[in-house]
Amino acid sequence: MYGAVQRSNVDWRVLAKLVPYLWLFRIRVGFALVLLIIAKLANVGVPVSLKYIVDSLDKSLAVQAVAVPVAMVFAYGILRFSSVLFGELRDAVFGRVAERTLSRLGLTVFEHLHRLDLEYHLSRKTGGLSRDIERGTSGVSFLLRSLVFSVVPILVEVALVIAIFALQFDLIFVWITLFAVVVYIGFSVVVTNWRTEFVRAANMKDNQANTRAIDSLLNYETVKYFNNEHYESKLYAANLLEREQAKVTNHLSLAALNSGQALIIASSIAVMMLIAAYQVQDGLMTLGDLAMINALMIQVFIPLNALGFVYREMKRALADVEGMFDILDVTPAIQDSDHAEALPVGADGIRFDNVSFSYHPDRPILKNVSFTVPAGKKVAIVGPSGAGKSTIARLLFRFYEANEGDIYIGDHAVRDLTQDSLRAAIGVVPQDTVLFNDTLQENIRYGRPDASEQEILDASQHAMLSAFIEKLPKGYNTLVGERGLKVSGGEKQRIAIARTLLKRPRIFLFDESTSSLDSRTEQAINQSLQKIARDHTTLMIAHRLSTVVDCDEIIVLEEGEIVERGSHDDLLKQSGRYQDMWRVQMHSETE
């Protein structure tokens, strides 16, 4: 069973997984870093220029002649502008890196989800999964920008300020600055680690609320059938309340962190300014030095404050990214072997050789099933619900691997074939057809995206669909709605048949494909399918026996075992399970 991996601590090794994405743009990243360093040098130069401006003015006032230091004022303005200009250039250069990385990562997750096996998708919760991906991509964006343009620049700027203090002033200023930085970072780390569980809890409650809402909306008709709107609202309200409480706790812990950081900053600046004021009074410093120390301390603590924010948000982002990378860490249960080869063009016919399978070890579904569908022939599998009929279809399409035995296309075991070539050769019409929220034409074209309009019309004609479509005001441009809710079950099955015909497979697999059709339409479609499937290998899985009377062989499956086999007429003469099923269905239709 698949599920989200829960960790007690954030895994910083996740950062290493981002390096390959940045390495693809290493030249652009390097250029952006150069721009960043220039911006930081200009930024630190601003307080230095301010010192000389103040000192020049102070000396001018002492001799009662005020001469404005024009050059220093211009230098101050240029440095201030340069710090902003090069910072903006840095963002412009790195912007494409961040967006392209997100695009590549999003595509990687999308493709990986399509590679995962059916069991994963049957077990997942769509709402929670979508939130994990959404928050994960946002987290990756933040991490990329933070790593390249926040952490290193902040440390460089702090180092530059400390160097100025050490070279020009008393070492007491260096020790106070180092002490403040260490205490600030230590406090931020400890409290942020404490807050991580609140962030994760808030995310979990948010997932639960979103999953409940999406599940309810996806099952809109079921909710209406049972008049359970109030019940759904009550459940959703409970989830929202839990999310609200988790978010409030998260906000309170954030307030505690911000208050502690502000206290450390205010105390440090107050102590340093007090010492500087006494030294100015004693003649050990000039007013320009005092102004520079004040500006440099602000210069230190502004980025240092950002460092606390960055660390805080990096922890949050890592907690968000964990869920997305957990998805990428899931290994598909069905994978092509190292020696897998494409299905040869001439390979045809299906053979199950002593196949056994179970979804769970204590509940066998198929038991030593063996049968053959000769090339160009049509074989049906019938039986009661739960007999294992649809499981045979899933094994043939390689959604699952057989526990024992082998399945062959021609003389080639499906486990030794590439999944792409195997599935390209099989056209499936499922019992439950889900359509895309697009037009009828595009849903049919999905069988072969490069098909022409005439080929779409021909496939619709063979599926008994064209007459229905032509009556619609917008014809083939009619939207089918979310999951095809605007068309009936029978119409959806005909669309599924049309797009499977458009695929032009060499093997047809019909899994209860006419179960939602009325008898007249079913008969007409079966006649059309007989013509199309002629000279094609066809496996039909059916509950309604009227759809399989013309098959070359009918296999009766019960509790995962083959209990009868033969043609329709032969099975009726055997007075066995098939005859009983036929009699019951004919009696029901007569009534």
pLDDT tens for residues 434-479? 788 888 888 889 888 888 989 989 888 888 888 888 888 888 888 8
Tell me what pLDDT residue 295 has.
80
pLDDT tens-digit profile of 123-140?
Answer: 666 556 777 777 788 888
Q: Looking at this protein, which amino acid is placed at residue 36?
A: L
Q: Looking at this protein, which amino acid is placed at residue 302?
A: I
Tell me what pLDDT residue 327 has.
80
Residue 341 has pLDDT above 60, yes or no: yes
- Grade residue 514 by pLDDT with cuts at 50, 70 and 90: low
Q: Hey, which CATH number is domain 433-504, 3.40.50.720, 3.40.50.620, 3.40.50.1360, 3.40.50.300?
A: 3.40.50.300
Residue 68 has pLDDT above 60, yes or no: no
DSSP assignment string, 330-379 = PPPSS---TT-BPPPTT---EEEEEEEEEEETTEEEEEEEEEEE-TT-EE
Per DSSP, helices labelled H in 282-337 are 287-329
pLDDT, mean of residues 228-243: 85
Its pTM stands at 0.65
pLDDT, mean of residues 483-510: 82
- Grade residue 1 by pLDDT with cuts at 50, 70 and 90: very low
Q: Cα dist. 101→89, 90, 137, 141, 314 in Å? A: 19, 17, 10, 8, 18
Residue 542 has pLDDT above 80, yes or no: yes
Q: Cα dist. 223→36, 85, 228, 231 in Å? A: 56, 57, 5, 9
Share of the chain above pLDDT 70, in %: 88
Residue 8 has pLDDT above 60, yes or no: no
- Grade residue 547 by pLDDT with cuts at 50, 70 and 90: confident
Homologous superfamily, domain 346-425+512-591: P-loop containing nucleotide triphosphate hydrolases (3.40.50.300)
Do the two domains 346-425+512-591 and 433-504 of this chain adopt the same fold?
A: yes
Residue 236 has pLDDT above 80, yes or no: yes
Task: Find residue 412's DSSP bridge partners.
Answer: 409
Enumerate the domain spans of the chain. 12-17+96-329, 346-425+512-591, 433-504
Tell me what pLDDT residue 524 has.
66
pLDDT, mean of residues 266-285: 85
pLDDT, mean of residues 510-534: 68
pLDDT tens-digit profile of 143-172?
Answer: 877 776 777 777 777 887 888 888 888 888
Task: Find residue 509's DSSP bridge partners.
Answer: 428, 539
Work out the angle at residue 255's Cα, subtended by the Cα atoms of residues 252 and 256, and round it to the nearest 5 degrees. 90
**Most confidently modeled range among 77-91, 235-249, 304-318:** 235-249
**Going by CATH, does the domain composed of 12-17+96-329 fall within 1.20.1560.10?**
yes
Residue 303 has pLDDT above 80, yes or no: no
Tell me what pLDDT residue 17 has.
73
Cβ atoms of 446 and 461 closer than 8 Å: no
Tell me what pLDDT residue 191 has.
82
